[in-house]
Amino acid sequence: MLLHLLRRLGQSVLVLLAVSFISFMVFRHIGDPTISLLGEDASVQEREALTEELGFNQSVPLQYLHYAGKVLHGDLGISYRLKRPVADIIAERLPATLELALTAALFALAIGVALGVYTALRRDGFLSRAIMTVSLVGVSLPTFLIGIGLIYLFAVELRWLPSFGRGETVKIGGWETGLLTTSGLAALIMPAITLGFYNMTLIMRLVRAEMLEVLRSDYIRFGRARGLRERDLYFGHALRNTLIPVITIAGLQIGSLIAFAIVTETVFQWPGVGLLFISSIQGVDVPLIAAYLMFIALLYVVINLFVDFLYVLVDPRLRKGTP
């Protein structure tokens, strides 16, 4: 078990090093930072002084080591557009994105697993067939179209929910949240459903397929022949083995919720990291773009390590070191 986790940790370090180098190349070779920071009216002497200060007159390996050292200390550079430290800007926007992504993940996991189990156990029922038909909508429609549809129905026609923004927020220490206010909760509903709908249908169909396969296993027939209750068979044995492959897929999908929340945040004007990334691309704010790449890579690495840990807990073969 420990050897497996250490091996995965070593692979994660290599991934972070590769992404840090890509981020460095983006940071170093896209645009002229001296023009972005000083403006086009700056003199040659001012540009040369800034070039020396930033270390751009050094060799590329030394520049990369300098960049990696600053990143390890939390220094992600200065935003060309906002003239502020990139780390501070991301820290301000991160709570909104995490709040949205985690709510969408809980929605996708809870509803997806529940509907997947139901449609597997009642696969010939009318409601199960209707759920599977509706799930095709979540798989087929693009995220922005689902968001626009929800806005039209619940914000324009019914006027139940706000169409954009995060609502009223409160600060708890250094964390700003809208979960403790009525307007914040109302503003979160449609973006969370929009972001999590595709993943919910994907998890539901995966759980259903795995559950149907497990229910055909010999040990399920043996347990039924021994007189075990159906509830114990379904939820004590079948569901546990169903969740082994689901954990891996669900972990990757949760990472994608944060990485690809860009579309949802744009549709609902949600003030998160995704919307910040879009504005950074429009303004060619290279330090913010490079920092976003590093943030997403770190996020995926952490989630993958957590999924590997859960996988070891669920699958006894990994704990015993057997294939």
Domain residue ranges of the chain, discontinuous segments joined by +: 92-272
Residues 49-98 have pLDDT tens digits of 877 776 667 777 887 888 788 888 888 888 877 888 988 999 889 899 98
Predicted TM-score (pTM) of this structure? 0.81
- Decide: 103 and 188 in contact? Cβ < 8 Å: yes
SS3 state of residue 172: strand
Q: CA–CA separation, 34 vs 2, rounded Å? A: 48
Report whether 7 contacts 318 (CB < 8 A).
no
| pLDDT recorded at residue 79 | 84
Residues of the chain with pLDDT under 70: 1-2, 4-5, 27-39, 54-56, 312, 314-323
Give pLDDT, residue 96.
92
User: Measured between alpha carbons, how far is residue 146 from residues 57, 116, 191, 199 in Å?
Assistant: 49, 21, 10, 13
pLDDT score recorded for residue 319: 56
pLDDT at residue 156, rounded to an integer: 92
What's the CA gap between 283 and 31, in Å, rounded? 11
pLDDT of residue 155: 92
Query: Which CATH topology does 92-272 take?
Result: MetI-like fold (1.10.3720)
Q: What is the DSSP string of 273-300?
A: HHHHHHHHHHTT-HHHHHHHHHHHHHHH
Spatial CA neighbour of 132 closest among 245, 235, 209: 209
pLDDT, residue 36, reads 64
| Cβ atoms of residues 207 and 128 within 8 Å | no
Q: What is the pLDDT of residue 31?
A: 62
Kindly tell me the sign of the dihedral angle through the C-alpha atoms of 284, 285, 290, 294: negative
